[in-house]
């Protein structure tokens, strides 16, 4: 029985790892296509906020391993909040105050708006916020 639990947990790690590989490659591909400015990071964060709701609520609500692959692995490495933080601080440090403020507003409002739209499209609840 213990051997089955261990192999099941190891398989979960493989699902996260494979999703993470594809997510980071997708993020890199977007950075090659979109000009090197805040648009690429914003695009990834906004798209990721929408996709996490869709994946969680419609595509795989009860599929644990698929969630590990898609949400924990793929979207975890695809979205770039840590890079957003670094980039934002670089704008501040270099005196680009307008870009600093715009970057925060675009990422926060864009990501939350995208998640809200995803929630409304892919949640059966009539409640606006839950």
SS (H, E, C) 52-75: HHHHHHHHCCCCHHHHHHHHHHHH
| pLDDT at 66 > cutoff 60 | yes
Classify the C-alpha dihedral 103-109-111-114 as positive or negative: negative
pLDDT in tens, 1-52: 577 788 999 999 999 999 999 999 999 998 888 876 667 788 888 898 898 8
Mean pLDDT score, 82-99: 87
DSSP 120: H
Q: Rounded to an integer, what distance in angstroms lies between the CA atom of residue 9 and that of residue 125?
A: 33
Average pLDDT over residues 95-104: 94
Q: What is the pTM assigned to this prediction?
A: 0.72
């Amino acid at each position: 029985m213990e051997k089955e639990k261990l192999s099941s947990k190891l398989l979960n790690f493989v699902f996260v790892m494979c999703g993470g590989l594809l997510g980071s490659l997708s993020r890199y591909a977007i950075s090659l296509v979109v000009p090197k400015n805040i648009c690429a990071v914003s695009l990834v964060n906004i798209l990721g906020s929408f996709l996490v709701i869709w994946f969680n609520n419609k595509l795989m609500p009860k599929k644990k391993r698929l969630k590990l692959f898609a949400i924990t692995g793929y979207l975890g490495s695809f979205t770039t909040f840590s890079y957003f933080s670094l980039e934002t601080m670089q704008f501040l440090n270099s005196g680009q105050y307008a870009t600093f403020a715009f970057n925060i507003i675009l990422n926060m409002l864009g990501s939350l708006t995208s998640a809200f739209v995803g929630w409304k499209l892919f949640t059966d609840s009539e409640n606006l916020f839950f």
